[in-house]
């Protein structure tokens, strides 16, 4: 196949698109791959479709290798299955709703678990039909609150979504593992660095889940990793919970006047000056800070809660919302507003505390306030605190968890900070940013239950099928590849993903130049190599070079002045090499280079799997170490 710049439907742009924050958005727009139609919605131009097609081809090959079969669903779906699964509500305002002329509810599908489940229910009835894995590459629609960064977060985007169906848990484990391998192979072949990280299921439900993260500053996700190989999304990090402490000898709680202590620092200073501890100084970590937050549930109801956590920690609202500990479905969490506080006069700003034995026992299980009081899991029984006494200007000292107060539950709401221990004992955590490019879930029986997908087992008994779901953001992946591979002057695709294998530039006016470029193009095409030929007549070489740099095909052949000596210039923009090659040899050498690039990309998948297996073995849960860290943190909590 040959694309000709003289007729190709493309106009490169000098100007960045309005509001472009990231390189992929800027360059895909300027190089003429995509055009914006509406916020978060894009039109694809020929060059864009070439690259997209190559990415999809790799995704499809790896799905086939993992034994998954391709199907295709509509994007426009009836609401009923989503009502049955509870996701009509759980998706909240992200869901695009519409009505047909008979007033029936429809949605534009944000993901397809429900209808895949129903399709299998429609066709299959026996355990003998399982396991089954099916997938599609299809448009998804989500009315994202903040569509941004071009293809990175769209409101219409392409996802590859696969679903597995098994009769039992062991089957699901095997299906999940096969997909996990397929993902590692796919991203390796795409040349995209990625890390599987532990995640939380959110609105999807189910048990195990991992996200595949492309580490990058442009990402919106914060994840953590330890040098020992632990990696998790911050929502999925669990705190190491100290052992409960014997409080039989702890002093009784006492309320004290604490004027002029508006901050934790001033409170700690006053505590040490006026009410010192017998064993050591009070620190910020001994204060229990109680933060009032507002939860918006998927059905729109707003709930005020109080989160109690050690005073040396901040609340991470996204983490708390993402843990799934605040309610079913996707919830939003924000700091309470002054109106929220006005509606709860028992919450006295700056002096809120749990279960103090005063008239105003407001928080916690036995409290008179109806607000839920949730505690950081490190606040274990026996820990001793300074906290608000629910009266202006007063704090309570030596308030002991389990003895003097209890909460309505725990929540992982505290910000994870550099140096926190990895839950598996593999060392201190460091924080990094990244883009979620895929997520795989062991859904279990949630959807099969709500939509009644059963098959007959070996004994003829109806058994609920267990499912997995496996999403991969195809258009987001393309943006990430553009983030990873570009230069100052334009895109710079890995060779095997470029919109054409070779960019030939006829640089100069003479007929012989045009003829030589045409001949070379025809010879390459005959070898199965795709060419983007810049055959534009009235365009200067400088302009053609600039376009070639913007468009980003790494192998460029310049047919120009050197032709008189029988030479053309071959540039490899990835390695930054240039050489003059005899016209007679250039076709053969180019064919060899391009074929080698495809083969290398394919081989990368095997290497990634070997590396992944070695890393997994190294992570093998070190229970002893976890125990010793637990013991350490119990000691420091005392
Ligand atoms: P995010 O947290 O980034 O909103 P998600 O967890 O909601 O993503 P999933 O439901 O897990 O996304 O969807 C599977 C994959 O689809 C994601 O891993 C991501 O690669 C892709 N994806 C999700 N939302 C978008 C979007 N708005 N634009 C482009 N790709 C997306
Ligand atoms: Mg996800």
Instruction: List, for residues 410-429, the tens digit of each pLDDT value.
Output: 999 999 999 999 988 889 99
> Ligand 1 centre from 110 Cα, in Å?
9
Between 346 and 580, the more confident residue is 580
Ligand nearest to the CA of 111: 1
What's the CATH code, domain 494-594? 3.40.50.800
Between 632 and 637, the more confident residue is 632
- Asked if pLDDT for residue 333 goes beyond 70, the answer is yes
Between 216 and 609, the more confident residue is 216
Cβ of 159 closer than 6 Å to ligand 1, yes or no, is: yes
> Ligand 2 centre from 624 Cα, in Å?
32
Between 241 and 620, the more confident residue is 241
The H or E element that residue 141 is part of is: strand 132-141
Query: Where is mean pLDDT largest: 65-74, 78-87, 600-609?
Result: 65-74
Cβ of 473 closer than 6 Å to ligand 1, yes or no, is: yes
Residue with tokens 């193009």: 521
Ligand 1 test: best mutation among 471, 475, 483, most atoms within 8 Å of CB? 471
**DSSP states of 394-449:** EEEEEEEBTTTB--SEE---BPP-TTPBPTTSS-BEEEEEEEEEEEEEEEETHHHH
Tell me what the mean pLDDT of segment 242-262 comes to.
89
**pLDDT number for residue 122:** 95
- Asked if pLDDT for residue 498 goes beyond 50, the answer is yes
Q: Whose CA is nearest to atom 24 of ligand 1?
A: 153
Residue with tokens 């429900």: 114
- Kindly report, residue by residue over 97-110, the tens digit of the pLDDT: 999 999 999 999 99
Q: Whose CA is nearest to atom 3 of ligand 1?
A: 436
User: What is the overall mean pLDDT for the chain?
Assistant: 90
> Ligand 2 centre from 202 Cα, in Å?
8
Distance CA 552, CA 575 (A): 13
Tell me what the mean pLDDT of segment 341-360 comes to.
76
Tell me what the mean pLDDT of segment 243-259 comes to.
90
CA atoms within 13 A on the CB side of 611: 14
Tell me what the mean pLDDT of segment 173-178 comes to.
95
Least confident of 146-160, 162-176, 303-317, 624-638: 624-638
**pLDDT number for residue 617:** 59
**pLDDT number for residue 366:** 56
- Kindly report, residue by residue over 115-158, the tens digit of the pLDDT: 999 999 999 999 999 999 999 999 999 999 888 889 999 999 99
Sheet holding 372-375, edge to edge: 332-335, 288-296, 302-310, 372-375, 409-410
Cβ of 471 closer than 6 Å to ligand 1, yes or no, is: yes
- Kindly report, residue by residue over 393-416, the tens digit of the pLDDT: 989 999 999 988 888 899 999 999
**pLDDT number for residue 90:** 83
Cβ of 144 closer than 6 Å to ligand 1, yes or no, is: yes
Under DSSP, is residue 337 helix (H, G, I), strand (E, B) or coil? coil
Cβ of 555 closer than 6 Å to ligand 1, yes or no, is: no
Share of the chain above pLDDT 90, in %: 68
Residues making up the chain, counted from first to last: 638
| CATH 3.30.930.10-classified regions of the chain | 14-237+429-484
The closest-lying atom of ligand 1 relative to the alpha carbon of residue 435 is: 3
DSSP type of residue 134: E
Tell me what the mean pLDDT of segment 265-274 comes to.
93
Cβ of 476 closer than 6 Å to ligand 1, yes or no, is: yes
Cβ of 186 closer than 6 Å to ligand 1, yes or no, is: no
**pLDDT number for residue 355:** 66
Q: Whose CA is nearest to atom 31 of ligand 1?
A: 473
Q: Whose CA is nearest to atom 8 of ligand 1?
A: 436
The closest-lying atom of ligand 1 relative to the alpha carbon of residue 437 is: 20
**pLDDT number for residue 235:** 84
- Asked if pLDDT for residue 605 goes beyond 90, the answer is no
Ligand 1 test: best mutation among 94, 159, 203, 330, most atoms within 8 Å of CB? 159
Tell me what the mean pLDDT of segment 582-605 comes to.
92
Question: Which pLDDT band, with edges at 50, 70 and 90, does 608 fall under?
Answer: confident
Pick from 512, 507, 555, 515: nearest CA to 531: 555
Ligand nearest to the CA of 162: 1
Distinct helix (H) and strand (E) counts, the chain: 15, 32
Helix 169-189 / helix 583-619 crossing angle, nearest 10 deg: 140
**pLDDT number for residue 259:** 87
Tell me what the mean pLDDT of segment 390-394 comes to.
87
> Ligand 1 centre from 94 Cα, in Å?
12
Under DSSP, is residue 503 helix (H, G, I), strand (E, B) or coil? strand
DSSP type of residue 93: G
Q: Whose CA is nearest to atom 22 of ligand 1?
A: 473
Least confident of 302-316, 356-370, 424-438: 356-370
SS3 labels along 237-279:
CCCCCCCCCCCCCCCCCEEEECCCCCCHHHHHHHHHHHCCCCC
Tell me what the mean pLDDT of segment 496-523 comes to.
94
Cβ of 87 closer than 6 Å to ligand 1, yes or no, is: no
Tell me what the mean pLDDT of segment 492-498 comes to.
97
| CATH 3.40.50.800-classified regions of the chain | 494-594
> Ligand 1 centre from 159 Cα, in Å?
8
Say whether domain 14-237+429-484 belongs to CATH 3.40.50.2300. Answer: no
Tell me what the mean pLDDT of segment 275-302 comes to.
91
- Asked if pLDDT for residue 630 goes beyond 90, the answer is no
Between 628 and 280, the more confident residue is 280
- Asked if pLDDT for residue 636 goes beyond 50, the answer is no
DSSP type of residue 239: P
CA atoms within 13 A on the CB side of 21: 11
Pick from 330, 264, 305, 310: nearest CA to 417: 310
Ligand nearest to the CA of 204: 1
Ligand 1 test: best mutation among 110, 330, 439, 470, most atoms within 8 Å of CB? 439
Cβ of 160 closer than 6 Å to ligand 1, yes or no, is: no
Say whether domain 254-410 belongs to CATH 3.20.20.190. Answer: no
The closest-lying atom of ligand 1 relative to the alpha carbon of residue 436 is: 18
**pLDDT number for residue 369:** 66
- Asked if pLDDT for residue 633 goes beyond 80, the answer is no
Cβ of 267 closer than 6 Å to ligand 1, yes or no, is: no
| CATH 3.90.960.10-classified regions of the chain | 254-410
Question: Which pLDDT band, with edges at 50, 70 and 90, does 625 fall under?
Answer: very low
């Amino acid at each position: 196949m040959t694309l000709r710049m003289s007729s190709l439907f493309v106009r490169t742009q000098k100007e960045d698109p309005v509001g472009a924050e990231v390189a992929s958005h800027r360059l895909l727009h300027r190089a003429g791959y995509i055009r914006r139609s509406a916020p978060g919605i894009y039109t694809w131009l020929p060059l864009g479709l070439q690259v997209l097609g190559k990415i999809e081809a790799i995704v499809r090959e790896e799905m086939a290798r993992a034994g998954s079969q391709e199907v295709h669903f509509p994007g426009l779906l009836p609401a009923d299955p989503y009502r049955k699964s509870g996701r009509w509500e759980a998706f909240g305002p992200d869901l695009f709703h519409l009505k047909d002329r008979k007033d029936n509810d429809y949605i534009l599908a944000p993901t397809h678990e429900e209808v895949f489940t129903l399709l299998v229910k429609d066709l299959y009835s026996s355990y003998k039909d399982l396991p089954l894995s099916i997938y599609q590459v299809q448009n998804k629609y989500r009315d994202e609150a903040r569509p941004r960064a071009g293809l990175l977060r769209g409101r219409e985007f392409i996802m590859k979504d696969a679903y597995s169906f098994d009769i039992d848990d062991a089957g699901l484990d095997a299906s999940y593992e096969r997909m996990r391998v397929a993902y590692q192979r796919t991203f390796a072949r795409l040349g995209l660095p990625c890390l599987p990280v532990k995640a939380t299921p959110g609105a999807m439900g189910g048990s195990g889940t991992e996200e595949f993260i492309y580490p990058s500053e442009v990402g919106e996700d914060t994840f953590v990793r330890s040098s020992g190989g632990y990696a998790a999304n911050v929502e999925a990090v669990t705190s190491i919970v100290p052992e409960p402490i014997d409080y039989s000898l702890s002093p009784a709680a006492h309320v004290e006047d604490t004027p002029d202590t508006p901050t934790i620092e001033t409170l700690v200073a006053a505590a040490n000056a006026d009410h010192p501890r017998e064993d050591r100084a009070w620190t910020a970590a001994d204060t229990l800070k109680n933060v009032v937050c507002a939860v918006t549930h998927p059905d729109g109801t707003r709930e005020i809660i109080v989160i109690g956590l050690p005073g040396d920690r901040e609340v991470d609202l996204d983490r708390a919302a993402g843990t799934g500990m605040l309610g079913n479905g996707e919830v939003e969490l924000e700091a309470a507003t002054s109106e929220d506080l006005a509606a709860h006069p028992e919450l006295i700003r700056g002096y809120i505390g749990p279960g103090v034995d005063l008239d105003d026992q407001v928080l916690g299980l036995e409290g008179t306030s109806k607000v839920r009081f949730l505690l950081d899991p490190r606040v274990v029984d026996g820990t001793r605190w300074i906290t608000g006494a629910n009266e202006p200007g007063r704090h309570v000292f030596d308030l002991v968890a389990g003895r003097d107060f209890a909460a309505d539950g725990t929540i992982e709401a505290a910000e994870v900070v550099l140096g926190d221990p990895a839950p598996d004992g593999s060392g201190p955590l460091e924080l990094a940013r990244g883009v979620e490019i895929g997520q795989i879930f062991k859904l279990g029986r949630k959807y099969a239950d709500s939509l009644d997908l059963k098959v007959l087992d070996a004994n003829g008994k109806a058994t609920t099928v267990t499912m997995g779901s496996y999403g991969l953001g195809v258009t987001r992946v393309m943006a990430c590849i553009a983030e990873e591979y570009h230069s100052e002057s334009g895109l710079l695709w890995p060779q095997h993903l470029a919109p054409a294998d070779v960019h030939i530039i006829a640089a100069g006016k003479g007929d012989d130049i045009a003829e030589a470029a045409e001949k070379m193009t025809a010879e390459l095409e005959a070898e199965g190599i795709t060419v983007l030929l810049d055959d534009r007549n009235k365009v200067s070489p400088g302009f053609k070079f600039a376009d070639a740099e913007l468009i980003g095909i790494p192998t460029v052949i310049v047919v120009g002045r050197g032709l008189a000596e029988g030479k053309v210039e071959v540039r490899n923009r990835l390695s930054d090499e240039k050489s003059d090659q005899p016209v007679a040899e250039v076709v053969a050498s180019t064919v060899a280079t391009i074929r080698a690039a495809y083969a290398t990309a394919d081989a990368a998948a095997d290497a990634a799997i070997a590396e992944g297996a070695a890393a997994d073995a190294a992570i093998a849960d070190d229970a002893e170490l976890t125990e010793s860290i637990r013991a350490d943190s119990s000691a420091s909590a005392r």
